[in-house]
Amino acid sequence: MKALVYKGPGQKSWEEVPNPTILQPTDVIVKIDTTTICGTDLHILKGDVPAVEVGRILGHEGVGTITELGAAVTSLKVGDQVILSCVSACGHCSYCKMGVYSHCLADEGASGIGWIFGHLIDGTQAEFVRVPFAETSVYPLPENVTPQQGTVLSDILPTGHEIGVKYGRVKAGDVVAVVGAGPVGLAAIATAGLYGPSRIIAIDLDANRVEQARKFGATDTVVSSDADWKDQVFAMTDGLGVDVAIEAVGIPQTFTMCLDIVRPAGAVANVGVHGKSVDFPLQDLWISNINISMGLVNTDTLDILLKLVAQKKIVAENFVSHTFELGDIIEAYDVFGRAAETKALKVILNA
């Protein structure tokens, strides 16, 4: 089969590799119908995720059709079209029993990490993929949800919702700022609206992206290259700052921006994947009663979000800006990596 293979920092190749095979009785083999590229894949290619070994097939999102079942799989069948969760969960370990699937203790690449696709085992940017713990890690695709919509549910929607909105404790009447209007930031905006905030402010360097954010529920926009960007935010919040600041980029500057605009007793929810340390001025922050949260997505709300997408409460197709054939994945990476120029949001790859 063909797959996108990591060759070391800054290097990747679309090449022939062996087809995956069943290794455990709880596995299934899935033929990829639709996959995509995530900002985390770009972080991997920069060398920000050293656990990813040379030779790894990248990708952790997708929808596909089951072609082969492990001996222990009874609730799925060949021919089922399923959403692949970006987090794999055995369903039996102590963390899984607590719903902390992101730290599943089953030994697939490394015990204690649920994000294994494209990280610790081969991923979804391929024609076929082996899916461990299939019965607790895939979701049947409803007839009224397209594979492209389903792919958005693999990672970005649960990540924005769980790590941004839920960890940020967004509630009715809050003023929420999302710093970074890329796909995950837009997912935080779209799902924050489910909780009734009074304002959702989209902040980004890219004027196109902040305008796009209005389609996802942003009530206000700020271009952070403006010299007075911070004053604009405070003017929207009676001079107090926002109740919840969601960081959705993963660089020190945007984390600092969130600290700068959150009000006392507010919350900063860090969603972005950081490749280097950030400055954390605890000596100044402690007196402000700020709650700071972060984490790896559990995808424990994927099923709820799937129902909302099926009922058009969340318009998942708004995330898709470009569509390619899977064989054109190198071009798709180029387009996604130059999002400011190409105006790319989510790049979908159809097999």
Q: Which residues of 281-297 are buried (b: 16+ CB within 10 A; e: fewer)?
A: eeeeeeeeebebbebbb
Rounded-to-10 torsion of CA 28, 132, 150, 12 = -100
Q: Is the Cβ–Cβ distance between 62 and 32 less than 8 Å?
A: yes
Report the predicted TM-score, pTM, of the whole model to 2 decimal places. 0.94
- SS in 3 state form for 143-195? CCCCHHHHHHCCCHHHHHHHHHHHCCCCCCCCEEEEECCCHHHHHHHHHHHHH
Question: Fold for domain 158-294?
Answer: Rossmann fold (3.40.50)
pLDDT digits (tens, 9 = 90+) for 206-230: 998 999 999 999 999 999 999 999 9
The highest-level CATH class for domain 2-155+299-350 is alpha beta
- pLDDT for 48 equals 85
Q: Is the Cβ–Cβ distance between 1 and 128 less than 8 Å?
A: yes
Q: What percent of the chain has pLDDT over 90?
A: 93
Which run of H or of E encompasses 305?
helix 302-310
Domain positions in the chain are 2-155+299-350, 158-294
Cα separation, 149 vs 324, in Å, equals 15
- pLDDT for 107 equals 79
> CA-CA distances (angstroms) from residue 76 to 123, 135, 191, 196, 244?
20, 7, 30, 37, 41
- pLDDT for 19 equals 98
Largest CA-CA distance found in the chain, in angstroms, rounded: 61
In DSSP terms, 27 is beta-bridged to none
- pLDDT for 110 equals 78
pLDDT digits (tens, 9 = 90+) for 303-349: 999 999 999 999 999 999 999 999 999 999 999 999 889 999 999 99
Q: Is the Cβ–Cβ distance between 3 and 57 less than 8 Å?
A: yes
**Per-residue pLDDT in tens (0 to 9) along the chain, 351 residues:** 999 999 999 999 999 999 999 999 999 999 999 999 998 999 899 998 899 999 999 999 999 999 999 999 999 999 999 999 999 999 999 999 999 999 999 978 778 899 999 999 999 999 999 999 999 999 999 999 999 999 999 999 999 999 999 999 999 999 999 999 999 999 999 999 999 999 999 999 999 899 999 999 999 999 999 999 999 999 999 999 999 999 999 999 999 999 999 999 999 999 998 888 999 999 999 999 999 999 999 999 999 999 999 999 999 999 999 999 999 999 999 999 998 899 999 999 999
- The Cα angle at residue 112 between residues 106 and 116, in degrees rounded to 5: 75
In DSSP terms, 349 is beta-bridged to 35, 324
Give me 19's structure tokens.
């087809």
